[in-house]
């Protein structure tokens, strides 16, 4: 693994996005989202995604300097047209509205159309949690999930995120794809030259494959749970619920109507749908934070099946990864990412990232 100073990785991402055509604020917000994914140990949604955003801007499919607008609203809900901006711009705009409505009425529910890939869903749910609310974030994506019994993809990885503030500095943090894994994890296995675990993806014959290259080419991820015998239909059902909240409710492209997303930047505007929710726990039974902390402490205290692998509460892995990253002041990348980033720097004529010594 190669290490790059966190500030240097951020600088590089901002430079690339600005050179592609994004204004300073839009580039900064998108880059902060990417770096945070790398910081929390989710490289599939960090630097790994940068070139996709750059290509969308260069092709004109993403209009990073447009302005999102509210199409319809009432005291607790809003419908937003992202107007083809970067996903981070649209998501900040929409979650800010949800937070404002939750502060005034107890709940804010915002549906977004006309957006682009908005990265790590937990970033947006946490934005509400940092203000004292239970935050929820959902988005649809390009078709990658093969419904149970299907050889073809018809839904996206359609993530679900719920983040909530607890007492004693605890935070409940859940961010999960409704596929077995996000497609970025397939890409990371390819970058590392490693095979896939079973249950991640299908080949063109509809059977599961451990070949990362074949899985990426086929673009058929298995739903959360894997095959029908291991309850994969539950992941399929959850993905369908997310699609209802995002694409179908917002009027964006949905399911099988969403373009395939690739490095080529082809396929036209994404027109993705997002959904953001902020809920004020103070509107319900007192002591929410204490009860949540009690649960998290209890879960961690359960006897593990393997003494070397303690039971974790949702968010513990991200918290640990962030602590390691912050202690070193660097983020880690596999060699292939350093090489591809250098190629992108040359293509855009920006200063490449400087690689640090090991921490």
CATH of domain 66-180+221-328: 3.30.1370.60
List of residues 6+ apart from 88 with CB closer than 8 A: 26, 29, 30, 32, 33, 118, 119
Neighbours of 72 (CB within 10 A): 10
- Pick 1-59+329-359's CATH classification: 3.40.109.10, 2.40.110.10, 1.10.1530.10, 3.40.50.12500: 1.10.1530.10
Question: Which helix (H) or strand (E) covers residue 127, if one does?
Answer: helix 121-129
pTM of the model: 0.94
Q: What is the pLDDT of residue 264?
A: 64
Q: What is the pLDDT of residue 358?
A: 64
Which residues of the chain are modeled with pLDDT < 50? none
Q: Name the one residue in this structure whose structure tokens are 């993705």.
A: 272
* Model pLDDT for residues 234-264, shown as the tens digit of each residue: 999 999 999 999 999 999 999 999 999 876 6
Q: What is the pLDDT of residue 359?
A: 59
Residue 6 CA to its chain's centroid (Å): 19
List of residues 6+ apart from 119 with CB closer than 8 A: 30, 33, 34, 37, 45, 49, 87, 88
Question: Which helix (H) or strand (E) covers residue 165, if one does?
Answer: strand 160-165
Structural tokens at position 268: 């036209």
Q: How far is 339 from 348, CA to CA, in rounded Å?
A: 14
Q: What is the pLDDT of residue 168?
A: 97
The answer to whether the CB of 246 falls within 8 A of the CB of 275 is yes
Q: Where are the domains of the chain?
A: 1-59+329-359, 66-180+221-328
Task: Compute the C-alpha angle 86/87/89, nearest 5°.
Answer: 70
Residues 233/235/237/238 CA torsion (nearest 10 deg): 170
Q: How far is 108 from 129, CA to CA, in rounded Å?
A: 13
Q: How far is 332 from 39, CA to CA, in rounded Å?
A: 9
List of residues 6+ apart from 221 with CB closer than 8 A: 144, 145, 146, 153, 157, 179, 180, 181, 183, 186, 200, 201, 202, 215
Structural tokens at position 211: 């070949």
- 87-105 and 121-129 helices, crossing angle to 10°: 30
Q: Name the one residue in this structure whose structure tokens are 């103070």.
A: 282
User: Which residue, among 47, 53, 119, has the nearest Cα to 342 in the 3D structure?
Assistant: 47
């Amino acid at each position: 693994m190669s290490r790059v100073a966190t500030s240097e990785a951020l600088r590089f991402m901002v430079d690339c996005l600005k050179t592609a055509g994004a204004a300073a604020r839009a580039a900064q917000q998108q880059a902060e989202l990417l770096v945070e994914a790398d910081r929390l140990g989710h490289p599939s949604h960090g630097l790994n995604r940068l070139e996709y955003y750059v290509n969308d801007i260069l092709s004109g499919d993403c209009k990073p300097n447009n302005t999102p607008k509210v199409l319809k609203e009432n005291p607790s809900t809003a419908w937003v047209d992202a107007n083809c901006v970067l996903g981070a711009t649209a998501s900040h705009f929409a979650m800010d509205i949800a937070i404002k409505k939750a502060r005034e009425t107890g709940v804010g529910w915002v549906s977004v159309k006309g957006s682009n890939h908005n990265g790590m869903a937990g970033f947006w749910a946490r934005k509400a949690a940092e203000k004292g609310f239970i935050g929820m974030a959902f988005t649809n994506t390009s078709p990658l999930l093969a419904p149970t019994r299907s050889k073809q993809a018809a839904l996206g990885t359609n993530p679900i995120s719920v983040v909530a503030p607890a007492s004693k500095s605890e935070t409940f943090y859940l961010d999960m794809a409704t596929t077995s894994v996000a497609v970025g994890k397939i890409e990371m296995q390819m970058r590392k030259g490693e095979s896939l675990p079973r249950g991640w993806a299908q080949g063109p014959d509809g059977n599961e494959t451990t070949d990362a290259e074949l899985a990426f080419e086929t673009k058929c991820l298995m739903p959360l749970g894997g095959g029908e015998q291991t309850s994969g239909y539950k992941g399929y059902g959850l993905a369908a619920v997310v699609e209802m909240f995002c694409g179908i409710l917002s009027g964006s492209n949905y399911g099988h109507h969403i373009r395939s997303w690739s490095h080529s930047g082809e396929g036209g505007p994404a027109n993705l749908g997002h959904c953001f929710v902020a809920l004020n726990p103070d509107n319900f039974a007192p002591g929410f934070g204490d009860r949540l902390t009690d649960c998290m402490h209890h879960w961690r205290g359960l006897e593990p099946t393997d003494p070397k692998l303690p039971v974790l509460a949702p968010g513990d892995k991200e918290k640990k990864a962030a602590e390691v990253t912050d202690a070193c002041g660097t983020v880690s990348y596999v060699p292939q990412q350093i090489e591809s980033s250098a190629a992108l720097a040359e293509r855009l004529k920006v200063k490449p990232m400087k690689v640090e010594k090991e921490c």
